[in-house]
Structure 1
Amino acid sequence: MVYPLNYRRPARVSHVSSRESMTGAEKQKSISESITSGSSGMSHGIPEALSFDRIIAGGVCPPCTVRDFMNYLKYIELAAENLQFFLWYRDYTNRFNELPERDQVLSQPWTKENSEPETQPRSKKFDLEAAAVLKGTEFATESGARVADPEKNNPFFTPPRTPTSEMKREGGESIDSYEGSLTFGSKNNHNDRATGAFQSAGLKWKPLSVQPYREEISRIISIYIADGGARQLNLSSKERNALLHALQNTTHPSAFRDVVTTVEWSLRCQAHPNFIRWTICNGNRPRVIFARGLGIGGIVGGFIAAIVITLSSASRAWRVLSIIGFLIGISTLIAAWKGMCVVLHGMHHRHLRPWELFTSDDESDGYDLKGESQDSLSSSNSYEDEPWVAKYEKRNVVRKIFDREVWIKEPALRQIQDTIFLQAIFGALVLSIIIVGIFCAFPKGNYF
């Protein structure tokens, strides 16, 4: 089964600053349109089977999985932090929503009204709820004072600091148990960087340490938001300051709403189409260049055969034999122009990517969405020092052309490649007939 012959692979989306000229509402509208068009069948050359949501949900096979998407963003687009942050946010939202209500009430949802410069004081209802939750603890006195004295009804008020690990979920699990999976940097270092980020944004009050996941939010600020972070997101100054203002007041997932919209828009409308376009290519660059050379060679061979036969005393019927060279050469060239090698396609194979060549099967298969989400805080995205870089550079060109191959498991991707192959054959057939017809119109040369 193939797609219609007028199918066009996804167009290359340039990562320009166009997103900065779009408002949050425009980005959200674009995201909604992407979801709607993706669920309706084919969206901009991307079938529903390879939609962004299906890839994130783990409903595709290699080479279109979340891990493949992550590797593409890390090694090709150099923007893996967007997907890493997006996966962390999804996991964080689920964990926050599973907290007991007595913990969730400490971090109220963040609304647009809160972000206005002249925001209204926190409602007395919230202070009463917080006081009830903290009754009998060392925070009760401070909470009660805030209810009794309106002058202390300050969203930036910091009670005496207590380690968040003392706060337990139902069943005895620490709400900061996620800390155990994080290995990048020390707690104090993250807290210092988060404090520095707040101060650089002109926010002098310290956040409430009693709020759930406050230590984890400090790590997120240190790694993704603060200047010089290991995986700093590409945010505008306005977006960054608005996010820090929100995170100073609450750890509720809604504080990330605007930033997540920007990140998701970048992933859906830029990175995802480029990833599918890149994945369609079944050969590495040396192999594709080699295929283009073969295509040009076939075309040249066809021209030589047609010219020789035309100049000879042979009948016009013999000139038709030159169509073989034209057909092979043009079809190979068209496929190579779209990044495909027809030889690899004949077996539905693809070359292993450079970073896959030196990875063991255990490392490549031991992956799941939750694991990637937890690993999203572990290190920077720099790969220049990874062992495969030096090893791949030492391989000679001939070895790269005939690198290891692997079968393409994703059916939707094979269908796209089948469609492109048929387009190449059809286009080559039409052009070959035209060229041979022109040669057949000439009279015999009778030179030999």
Structure 2
Amino acid sequence: MGLLSPKYRRPKYIDREKFQRSDTSLSENDESDESLKSGRSGTLSGIPDALTFDRIINGGTCPPCTIRDFMNYLLYIEHAAENLQFYLWYRDYVKRFNEADTSDTWLSPEWTQEMEDETITRIQKDAVDKMRREPKAAEIFKGTIFEKGASDAVIEDRDPFSTPPSTPGKKDAPSFISNFGIPGRRTPARDAFGAAGAAQPFTIQPFRAEINRVIATYITEDAPRQLNLSDKETKSAVLALAYTTHPSALRSIARSIEDTLRRQAHPNFIRWTICNGNPARVCFAVSLGAGLIVCATIGALILTLSSAPRGYRALFAIIWTLGIATLIAGAKGMCVVLHGLHHRHVRPWELFDTPSSKPSTPDESELEEQGKEGKGNSFDSFGSSNSYEDEPWVARYEKRNIIRKVFDREVWIQEPALRQIQDVIFVQSMLMALLGAGVLTAIFVAVPAGNYF
């Protein structure tokens, strides 16, 4: 592991809502892909080789930078755990599909890039045609009390004043007739195929049941772990999955999710992990640093206004140094006391015995088994929604008083690369503190004594 530069800067925070996906996919640009993996270019600067996305995903890091820590961050802090859950499932699915020893894989041909481009073009054309039909509705309602909502109306050979037909629910339509005339139970996947205008797929395709669960869990509207996809991406994926269960049908979505994880979630995770104290401790550290600076300044002013020798004013340089260093480190989420021990505060969800706080990192076989078990672990591929408000630790942690939070339980930081980053930040804080204390000391020592008392 190479030494970090003294000019090291933490990864910049990337807002999830404002993050724009790159036009160039990871697989189509080797140079871009390499830079994303290394974390050395663009918005990913500040991530050493030992903490790259691939090393974390492949289990090459120690706490608090493991894949489980990454999952907990996405679950409890960024509220986007579905991205990593889908990514881990897809990576394992590609491996299992390619290693499948069955003879029916020919029933699921590859979804080529040409087919994907053609599908997207058709979806865009249908959207344009729909927009061209909308002005007709606006002309009908022009000059009436319904004019305001006319732009949202679409005339399809029916009375615009009639009550629109409601979508049948499970009670209204417990069964489903596919495009092939095969009856079956109504499911979210079947509804998604019907809404996209796709024929119901062959149930004998390999992994068809699993793909239907993926559609119901990650892709359909109001899915428990709905991915942040556009209508075009959703419809394109459904049409592809209606044709085949080959992993290439999810290629476009997988690229977008991986791009988001690498370029937005991963840098934010490293930036967040650098903080060794909880918000209460960091706030306390910043307040302490500011207090030391104010106290030292007041003391220096008193000595300056008195008849005491100038040399005594230089003693406050020690307090200024401690105060400025503590303040700068606190502004970066670090407590210098915890750093001196290479400790960090235990996360709120780690303080109490919860399923998501297990220390070990599951391998792919465990992930598959956990996915079959259902609810109870954040690594479940097809679990319920990622809501955690009902977990016991939430209410118990809120009841803890502020003093107890400031002095919460601590653990040793095991990841060497993270300790090195914190060392560099501490050295930078001390250098800035020495510079600031030197300037303040020179100013106060140079001022003549006031001799007021």
TM-score (norm 1): 0.80
Q: Which residue of 1 aligns with 2:289?
A: 295
C-alpha distance in structure 1 between counterparts of 2:413 and 2:279, whole Å: 18
Letter in 2 for 1:414: R
C-alpha distance in structure 1 between counterparts of 2:355 and 2:82, whole Å: 25
SS at match of 2:344: strand
Retained in 2: the 8 A contact 1:38–1:47? no
Retained in 2: the 8 A contact 1:84–1:372? no
Alignment of 1:84-103 (within 5 A): 84-100=85-101, 102-103=103-104
Q: Which residue of 2 aligns with 1:382?
A: 387
C-alpha distance in structure 1 between counterparts of 2:323 and 2:347, whole Å: 27
Distance 1:408 1:30, change over 3 A: farther
Q: Which residue of 2 aligns with 1:196?
A: 191
Q: Which residue of 2 aligns with 1:6?
A: 7
Shift of residue 40 of structure 1? 8.2
Over the matched positions of the two proteins, sequence identity in percent amounts to: 53
CA deviations on 1:282-341 (whole Å, 9 max, x unpaired) are: 000010000011001110121022112212222222111010111010000000000000
Letter in 2 for 1:35: E
Retained in 2: the 8 A contact 1:306–1:322? yes
Pick one of 415, 420, 423 that aligns with 1:410.
415
Letter in 2 for 1:401: V
Q: List structure 1 segments (4+ residues) > 6 angstroms apart after TM superposition.
A: none
Shift of residue 9 of structure 1? 0.3
Stretch of structure 1 that moved more, 295-304 or 93-102: 93-102
Q: Which residue of 1 aligns with 2:78?
A: 77
Q: Which residue of 2 aligns with 1:234?
A: 228
Q: Which residue of 2 aligns with 1:332?
A: 326
Q: Which residue of 2 aligns with 1:425?
A: 430
Stretch of structure 1 that moved more, 87-96 or 306-315: 306-315
Retained in 1: the 8 A contact 2:190–2:200? yes
Distance 1:117 1:329, change over 3 A: closer
Retained in 1: the 8 A contact 2:342–2:412? yes
Letter in 1 for 2:389: E
Retained in 2: the 8 A contact 1:158–1:209? no
Q: Which residue of 1 aligns with 2:447?
A: 442
Q: Which residue of 1 aligns with 2:309?
A: 315
C-alpha distance in structure 1 between counterparts of 2:86 and 2:251, whole Å: 13
Shift of residue 103 of structure 1? 2.5
Alignment of 1:49-448 (within 5 A): 49-100=50-101, 102-115=103-116, 116-117=118-119, 192-203=187-198, 205-359=199-353, 364-370=358-364, 371-372=366-367, 374=371, 375-448=380-453
Structure 2: stretches of 5+ with no match in the other structure: 122-177, 372-379
Distance 1:354 1:78, change over 3 A: same
Distance 1:58 1:31, change over 3 A: farther
SS at match of 1:406: strand
Retained in 2: the 8 A contact 1:158–1:208? no
Letter in 2 for 1:379: S
Shift of residue 361 of structure 1? 9.7
Letter in 1 for 2:342: H
TM-score (norm 2): 0.79
Shift of residue 223 of structure 1? 0.5
Q: Which residue of 1 aligns with 2:169?
A: none
Retained in 1: the 8 A contact 2:61–2:415? yes
Distance 1:40 1:86, change over 3 A: closer
Shift of residue 202 of structure 1? 2.2
CA deviations on 1:201-240 (whole Å, 9 max, x unpaired) are: 222x110111100000000000000111110101000101
Shift of residue 427 of structure 1? 0.3
C-alpha distance in structure 2 between counterparts of 1:240 and 1:80, whole Å: 19
CA deviations on 1:252-307 (whole Å, 9 max, x unpaired) are: 00111100010001100000000000000000001000001100111012102211
Retained in 2: the 8 A contact 1:31–1:268? no
C-alpha distance in structure 2 between counterparts of 1:266 and 1:118, whole Å: 21
Tell me the number of residue pairs that the alignment of Structure 1 and Structure 2 aligns: 382
Retained in 1: the 8 A contact 2:277–2:338? yes
C-alpha distance in structure 2 between counterparts of 1:430 and 1:118, whole Å: 59
**1:36 and 2:41 matched:** no
Distance 1:379 1:257, change over 3 A: same
Distance 1:52 1:159, change over 3 A: farther
Retained in 1: the 8 A contact 2:320–2:433? yes
Retained in 1: the 8 A contact 2:39–2:52? no
